[in-house]
Amino acid sequence: MLLADVFDERLIKLNLQSTDKDAVFEELIGEILAVKPELDRTEMLAAIYSREEKMGTSVAPGVAVPHGYFRGLNGIIGAVGFSRQGIDYEAHDHKPVHLVFMILLGDGAQEQHLYVLSRILSFVRSGALSYIGKAESSRKVYDILCRAG
């Protein structure tokens, strides 16, 4: 599975308005609902918060990957958000997060979970934050994700 299979170009938001973690969750789930209106907002939020309560999802300086299992979904869906001003994410390094990869994993996606997370971490280690910070459009970010594999 490639990152381009998880993240839809329509679900890449380059100018997040949210300034804290809770608002980012709401904003990105709103983006998902715009593409998949049949999904349930409350259940998606519950899935993300369930995982977040176990362990924070700030994975690298400036990057977070909130994720969770959501029964009402077939496969995996993800949204990407970028904030120039930064988000108070309660990160372990106490610094703002600028790049958020939100992932919802549906029935049967458990095996792909760790693979997708490892692909994202490899992408982040390759300097993703600077690449995405320079992108002028969602399409450019999607192209970067496609090249990352």
- pTM of the entire predicted model: 0.93
Can you give the three-state secondary structure of 121-134, one letter per residue?
HHHHHCCHHHHHHH
**Mean pLDDT across the stretch 93-99?**
91
Of all residues in the chain, what percent carry a pLDDT higher than 90? Answer: 49
* pLDDT of the residue at 149: 63
11 compared with 2, residue with greater pLDDT: 11
Domains plus CATH for the chain?
3-148 (3.40.930.10)
Exposure of 22 by Cβ count < 10 A (0-12 exposed, 13-18 middle, 19+ buried)?
A: middle
Q: Say if residues 27 and 66 touch (Cβ distance below 8 Å).
A: no
pLDDT at 1 over 70: no
| Integer Cα distance of 16 and 24 in angstroms | 8
Model pLDDT for residues 19-68, shown as the tens digit of each residue: 999 999 999 999 999 999 999 999 999 999 998 888 878 888 889 999 99
Write the DSSP assignment of the chain as a string of letters.
--HHHHEEEEEEESS----BHHHHHHHHHHHHHHH-TTS-HHHHHHHHHHHHHHS--EEETTEE--EEEEEEEESEEEEEEEEEEEEB---TT-PPEEEEEEEEEEET-HHHHHHHHHHHHHHHHTTHHHHHHH--SHHHHHHHHHHH-
pLDDT tens sequence across 50-62: 988 888 788 888 8
